[in-house]
Structure 1
Amino acid sequence: MSTASNGSVSLYYEVDGDPDRGTVLLLGDAGYGAWQWGWQHAGLTGPFETVVTDLRGTGRSDAPPGPYTVDDFVADVQAVLEAHGSRRIHVVGAGLGGMVALELARLSSRPRSLALLGTAPVGADLTLDPLYGDPSDPDALEASLAAALSRDFLDAHPDVVEQVVEWRAAEDATPEAWAAQAAAVEAFDVSDRLYEVDVPSLVIHGRDDAVWPVERGRRLARELPRGEFVGLDGGHLIGIERSRAVNDRLFGFLGA
């Protein structure tokens, strides 16, 4: 358990695994704490070193007043990587974290590859509110999962739902921090600069994503110079709902 500083903002991160096998940085989606990587972390750690950081506004990182920008998150990530000593990394980003990964790859030579889950090159006109639940309200946290996971998954895995609600209550963004993170998504647009992201990029998207439409994922993969698209049946949190399929593709991609 470690912290890095970007100016006055303290950023929490955790490192596991052997750095000699390559480092994978995991960047999460708007509003969610690091719990969202539970389905990937255990599998990736061992074959790789993993670095998981709480974005500003979530978990054990600071939540300064917003609104935030993707550039703020990129600067935070650079601070974490400097503190950890990482030079070249693979980046796995979900939603907002995928946007941060894209901008990091555009501005920095650190990323060796990108894996982008349920993200988009443009944030305008996305209605993110259905994904959010106030951490102080367990009923709201559970209800908001209907926008993130398919009904079939929710009905089949009540134990997972119960555990996720507990994790979200402990780690997710407050209403103020959520609004600050959502503002970063809304303002992001890298659509005319994707040609500058020249690392291998795997785009994985749930075909039934109700909030981040799958067409935005297809567009992202199509316009990235080295992009590859994989569509899977499921909702926005595809790394949870289709964890085995996502992990298989991550292993194949990162191993290559």
Structure 2
Amino acid sequence: MPRAHNGGVDLYYERVGDGPTVAFLPEAGLGAWSWGWQHDAVVGPYEALVVDPRGTGRSDAPPGPYDAATLAADLEAVFRDAEVRAAHLVGHGLGGAVALAYAREFNRARSLTCIATPASGQVVDADALERLFGDDWPDVAFSQSYVGVAPRDEIEGWRELDDAGPEARRALYAAYEAFDPGPLYEYETPALVLGPLDSPVVPADACEALATGLPRGEYEAVEGRHLAHLEHSVAVNDRLLGFLEAL
């Protein structure tokens, strides 16, 4: 099982497939399971690389504080270990913020896809994000039309294995709320921003503001709540693959 190391922290990742690397970065506290709907869609023309951020899954969970810069340095350590020279970064929530922080600091990012990621962490509703880990998590994650048909038992089994514990979640939330991407006009990496229309965690207009501020940003609204990329995976996957193929 591949592990990278950054400052004494062990970081777990998995990779499968051939071709250009697509690296998936999850929302604060969510495990790698949350990319299962996208992972299989890209494998074939691309290599999928899924990271367990510090505090999550099989990676170490050192005491906080965490910040986006440290999480981006963790990703760089993974790329060095995996000998990845360039990658398309796909991030959800905090994962999108980490993708932005990575693109600012390091030079391996070929593109950015940010799902439910705002232009500033200050607009993140931390209470709604914490509810994603409570008993009513499907109501935060999915629209009512999908709650009844979502594979809840299966997802809860994955979450028990992969999601961060309470202390690590708090450190990840703090990193997210403190995130400031800096001047957006300085980003030259092609970017696709997908804004769920009904996320309780991040307003859709904050996602659109991110895309508008990026010189090479594209914005598209997505139906659904905070885990719209699961509920509407076909539409999201089609848009993601179209974006990657056009680069």
Same fold by TM (over 0.5)? yes
1:28 to 26, 29, 45: 26
Partner residue in 2 for 1:56: 54
For 1:51 and 1:134, how far apart are their aligned partners in 2?
24
1:66 to 61, 64, 67: 64
| Residue 218 (structure 1) shift | 0.5
For 1:129 and 1:68, how far apart are their aligned partners in 2?
19
| Residue 128 (structure 1) shift | 2.3
Unaligned regions of 5+ residues in structure 2, if any? none
For 1:48 and 1:242, how far apart are their aligned partners in 2?
21
Match runs of 1:51-200 below 5 Å: 51-132=49-130, 140=134, 142-157=135-150, 160-190=151-181, 192-200=182-190
CA-to-partner distance for each residue in 1:105-139, whole Å, 9 max, x for gaps? Answer: 1122211111111111211142223333697xxxx
CA contact (8 A) 2:125 2:200 kept: no
1:185–1:22: structure 2 CA closer, same or farther, 3 Å change rule?
same
Alignment partner of 1:207 is 2:205:
no
For 1:175 and 1:86, how far apart are their aligned partners in 2?
32
CA contact (8 A) 2:132 2:138 kept: no
The one-letter amino acid of 1:48's match is Y
For 1:188 and 1:228, how far apart are their aligned partners in 2?
21
The one-letter amino acid of 2:101's match is E
| Residue 197 (structure 1) shift | 1.3
Partner residue in 2 for 1:37: 35
CA contact (8 A) 2:131 2:140 kept: no
For 2:235 and 2:60, how far apart are their aligned partners in 1?
34
For 1:176 and 1:92, how far apart are their aligned partners in 2?
25
Aligned residues: 246
| Residue 239 (structure 1) shift | 1.0
Query: Cα RMSD between the aligned structures?
Result: 1.4
CA contact (8 A) 2:90 2:99 kept: yes
User: Which segment drifts farther, 93-102 or 146-155?
Assistant: 146-155
TM-score of the superposed pair, with normalisation by structure 2: 0.96
Unaligned regions of 5+ residues in structure 1, if any? none
The secondary structure found in structure 2 opposite 1:204 is strand
For 1:152 and 1:15, how far apart are their aligned partners in 2?
33
CA-to-partner distance for each residue in 1:61-114, whole Å, 9 max, x for gaps? Answer: 000001210011011000000000011111101100000001111122211111
CA-to-partner distance for each residue in 1:33-74, whole Å, 9 max, x for gaps? Answer: 000000000111111011111010110000000121001101
CA contact (8 A) 2:15 2:47 kept: yes
Provide the identity percentage: 46
The secondary structure found in structure 2 opposite 1:76 is helix
| Residue 163 (structure 1) shift | 1.2
| Residue 217 (structure 1) shift | 0.5
Partner residue in 2 for 1:238: 228
